[in-house]
Structure 1
Amino acid sequence: MAKNNVNKTNNKTGFEEKYLSRGQLIWRAFLKHKLGVGALVVLILLYLLALFADFFAPYNPAEQSLRHTYSPPTKIYRTYKGQRVKPYVLPSMSYVDKITYERTYKEMLFPRRIVIEKNNGERVTYELGKDGVESFKFSVNRIESIKVRGEWYDVRKTPVVSDYFLFGYNDDVLNKGISRFETTSSVAQEMFFKAYKDRFDLTEEEDVQAVAVTEQIDTIVVKRDGKFEMIKGKVIEYDYKIYPVKWFVKSWTGKFLWIFPMNVHLFGVDNYDNNQFVKLYIMGADLFGRDVWSRIAFASRISLSIGLIGVIITIALALVFGGISGYYGGLVDEAFMRFAEIIMSIPGFYLMIMLRAVLPLDLPSTQIYLLIVFILSFIGWAGTSRVIRGLVLSIREREFVEAAVAIGLSNWKVLTRHVLPNTTTYLIVNATLRIPGYILGEAGLSFLGLGIREPQASWGLMLAQAQDVYVITRAPWLLIPGIFIFVTVLAFNFVGDALRDALDPRSLG
């Protein structure tokens, strides 16, 4: 008897039947599409960036800093004097070189401790905040030289007093007490040729073979207890200020979810002494010294929401026109579809520009935003409505619709409860594939100057700053908004393809 029970136990199968709903089957089929899943993750991250832009942006997107015009992405250091330390940045700024007339970006050193060897051999140490020391200043002799017929001539000597080191030779000035910068720039040759043509009997610009700038520390000025102490000597050792990069930094005040004031941001630099030259630009700065990353975060709100809102309005119009046309037919069908065909016959982009051009150009950004949504929706509904009409024509002939009519339901209830809901599968796929077109449409209008206006930002408006070849060569990071547009459009297309495959009955198993 016991043996028979064992055999019965062994004969039992280890499988359990499980019935999945249609939604679960669709989700299982969607997960098989790896590109679609990855694209969905990217879109979720992008929309989280838009939703919590105030938290992710380390700077106010409208905050200007003309000292940092076209500053490149800030370099983050991990070593200080050969030792490994926490990440930090240095003060920086951009300026137009007076010799070459080229915009240059340089980092600066703000000393916090210096060891000076006086001319009499005595060594003395000064440190900010100790023994009443308030600040350092350095008197630097700046000598401009010109090379003519193989010989150098000093043409101008200028004393420069500075509490920071500006032009990038300054590290050499501290280490060696002197630095020298030479150039054969045609701009510099032209400038010095005009200034010293008669003095050196110059006949052409090429006679100026080179131009040089030499800087040498002359005097160190220490402010202590409100008094200035001038020291003749040289700096033999120094420490400079560094500004740590940290997570969850308090800075400008934004609004969390557009409602709650918030001054905590995901990352930033600890500017403990409010140094106006300290910035953390992870994606560089634009013409006005505004942080590109912060503007991208806020611009995503406009660029991403226009697609969603535009598609919702488009689908609503397409359901109304296509549903009524397909269900009622006759003159209503003729009138609605001929109107849709007229709109479809006009090239979309030109129709979009025409509609925007007839509207006032000096409208506020909020009104422009609503107008762009309206224009994009007006252009997109016609094609979708014709497909909806075809689906409705097919669905209204099915048995369940005839049964609904037979039990006495009104035409409106039959259309809204039984016919239009069966077009949902198509609408979901259509929406994911149309959103990229709306994003590109807004970007195109803003790129042409017909869309969102300053100080608001959209990805298209930011990309318009990179139209100039000179700007692209000097500040290629201004093309980053174009990368966001490309990634977003590609992600929506991948998700749309994955949804189309997942909703196919043959893929549900």
Structure 2
Amino acid sequence: MTVQASSQSQFQIALRQFRKHPLAVWGLRILFVLYTVAAFAGFFSPYDPNYYELYPPKGYHPPTRIHFVDPETGGLSRPFVYATRRTLDPVSLQPKYEEDPSQGKFYIRFFVRTPDQPYTLFRVFRSDLRLFGVDPPARIFLMGTDNFGRDLFSRLIYGAQVSLTIGILSALVSFVLGMVLGGIAGYYSGRPFTLSLPLRAWRGLGLLLGPLSWALWGGLGLGALYLAWSYYRLTGLGFFQVLAFLAAAWVGVRLVLTLPFRPIRIDADDLVMRAVEIIAAIPTLFLLISLRAVFPTNVDPLTTFYLVVGLLGFIGWGGLARVVRGIVLSVREMDYVQAARAMGASDARILFRHVLPATASYVIVSLSLTIPGFILAESGLSFLGLGVTEPYTSWGLLLQGAQQGGFASFVDRPWVLWPGFFIFVSIMAWNFVGDGLRDALDPRRRR
């Protein structure tokens, strides 16, 4: 009697292979914890991220020491903390915080209510329930405070909402642009489209496309002449000025003489790939700073958040588009694509239903490996003061506050460097997950 093995789907096979990658599994667990805590930041944080006390001040308060042993009996006790008092070091004039047992023990309580510091979950549900806390005047700072006395642990959790979310949203923007533009470049390679129409073709749709194309190319010619004139006004008359004016005039005349008599055909593949090469030729950080400098720095913080998402997604689609184009060039010659074309399917249906799905394995892996790069880019922008602004916070913005303390951040208050640790952990976790997905989805790497 023979037992027939049950067939497995591609998803089950990939899942089994993914589980054989221990680093990928642990990376996925770490990301699950990070994103869960970030999603319910209000519940897991003991304080509002922008809450601080004017008196007594708590600037650069070290992490609160949690006691598990009762000093009076010497036995185990419920976790408790002491209130602290602030003094100044007579030598360095830096604040010092000492425990004050005279005020008694303050036990850590779980599922506490903080009506004076409410929060919202997903901007829908309003609550004031927090996982843990202590009664005033004691405070519990698991990771210390910043220069304003704000709880760094709470700000790290809320900063994770921004940094981790920007990584995913920017990757999705890059994913859409890379898939669509790369698919169009590969599918329409060798099939140029008409960018301008001669006068005799101004019939039907040409009545709209003809004037628009003339306006486009005419505007480019006038723009070249304007740049040459501005260059002359700024620098005066000279050999290079005359040469620049003649070059601009030649471009303008050629456009005017060409447009009315013959159409201009451009290959979508050439257009997209040249755009990719131009973006790749500019250093990423310099391009990000330049694009961000175009917009005012005093815009609404929420608008800044979406602006950073769009900028990161805009500069990150080129590599994905290039690879997708190569895959589409080979897939479009497959028999099933030719059969769909013979049956009368439209180009859009063939592209989105038959061609682009063939790139799914690569895109999924590329997406998981792109997200950590966007997290790091956002942290760099915020560190330079060009990213997310107050009252929102991110890991990069917290590092910016840490570097303002100079060398003292490493010697006197190293707890302000916690954001760098979480950036490192999240990036490593995403890279581990990406490696596991690559091994699971690539048949040649399966074990």
So what's the TM-score if we normalise by structure 1? 0.69
User: Do structure 1's residue 408 and structure 2's residue 344 form an aligned pair?
Assistant: yes
Match of 1:179 in 2: none
Match of 2:166 among 306, 311, 315: 306
User: Do structure 1's residue 247 and structure 2's residue 110 form an aligned pair?
Assistant: yes
Match of 1:431 in 2: 367
Deviations 1:280-305 (A, max 9, x none): 00111110111111001110110000
Quick one: distance in 1 between partners of 2:33 and 2:280? 35
User: Do structure 1's residue 503 and structure 2's residue 441 form an aligned pair?
Assistant: yes
Q: Secondary structure at the match of 2:270?
A: helix
Q: Secondary structure at the match of 2:127?
A: strand
Quick one: distance in 2 between partners of 1:95 and 1:420? 65
Match of 1:343 in 2: 279
Q: Cα offset for 1:65? A: 2.5
Q: Cα offset for 1:506? A: 3.1
Match of 1:418 among 354, 364, 376: 354
Deviations 1:239-296 (A, max 9, x none): x521101221222321133221211111211x1xx42xx1000111110111111001
Match of 1:104 in 2: 96
Quick one: distance in 2 between partners of 1:31 and 1:448? 39
Written as runs of structure 1 = structure 2, the 5 A alignment for 1:41-190 is 41-66=29-54, 67-78=57-68, 79-84=70-75, 85-97=77-89, 101-110=93-102
Any conservation in 1 of the 2:52–2:149 contact (CA below 8 Å)? yes
Written as runs of structure 1 = structure 2, the 5 A alignment for 1:315-394 is 315-330=175-190, 331-394=267-330
* AA partner of residue 338 (structure 1): R
The unaligned stretches of length 5 or more in structure 1 are 1-11, 111-239
Q: Cα offset for 1:94? A: 3.4
* AA partner of residue 441 (structure 2): L
Match of 2:19 among 23, 26, 31: 31
Quick one: distance in 2 between partners of 1:401 and 1:95? 76
Match of 1:445 among 378, 381, 405: 381
Match of 1:486 among 403, 421, 424: 424
Written as runs of structure 1 = structure 2, the 5 A alignment for 1:276-291 is 278-291=138-151
Q: CA RMSD in A?
A: 1.5
* AA partner of residue 18 (structure 1): S
Q: Percent of pairs identical after alignment?
A: 43
Q: Secondary structure at the match of 1:454?
A: coil
Any conservation in 1 of the 2:439–2:446 contact (CA below 8 Å)? no
* AA partner of residue 77 (structure 1): H
Structure with bigger helix share is 2
Quick one: distance in 1 between partners of 2:139 and 2:106? 9
Quick one: distance in 1 between partners of 2:94 and 2:346? 75
Quick one: distance in 2 between partners of 1:404 and 1:75? 69
Quick one: distance in 1 between partners of 2:101 and 2:28? 45
Structure with bigger strand share is 1
Any conservation in 1 of the 2:60–2:413 contact (CA below 8 Å)? yes
* AA partner of residue 336 (structure 1): V
Any conservation in 1 of the 2:382–2:396 contact (CA below 8 Å)? yes
The unaligned stretches of length 5 or more in structure 2 are 191-266
Match of 1:474 in 2: 412
Any conservation in 1 of the 2:279–2:315 contact (CA below 8 Å)? yes
* AA partner of residue 442 (structure 1): E
Any conservation in 2 of the 1:343–1:382 contact (CA below 8 Å)? yes
Q: Which stretch of structure 1 is more off in the superposition, 79-88 or 419-428? A: 79-88
* AA partner of residue 31 (structure 1): R
Deviations 1:460-479 (A, max 9, x none): 00011221112332210010
Q: Secondary structure at the match of 1:109?
A: strand
Match of 1:396 in 2: 332
Quick one: distance in 2 between partners of 1:464 and 1:246? 33
Match of 2:197 in 1: none
Quick one: distance in 1 between partners of 2:372 and 2:32? 15
Q: Secondary structure at the match of 1:63?
A: coil
Match of 2:128 in 1: 263
Residues 94/448 of structure 1: CA separation in 2 closer, same or farther (3 Å cut): farther
Q: Cα offset for 1:369? A: 0.7
Match of 2:396 among 448, 455, 460: 460
Q: Secondary structure at the match of 1:241?
A: strand
Q: Cα offset for 1:26? A: 0.3
Q: Cα offset for 1:507? A: 4.6
* AA partner of residue 307 (structure 1): G
Q: Secondary structure at the match of 2:101?
A: coil
Deviations 1:291-342 (A, max 9, x none): 1110011101100000110011101111121111110113111112111111
Q: How many equivalent pairs are there?
A: 363
Residues 63/18 of structure 1: CA separation in 2 closer, same or farther (3 Å cut): same
* AA partner of residue 358 (structure 1): V
* AA partner of residue 140 (structure 2): L
Q: Cα offset for 1:16? A: 5.4
* AA partner of residue 69 (structure 1): G
* AA partner of residue 402 (structure 2): A
Q: Cα offset for 1:444? A: 0.2
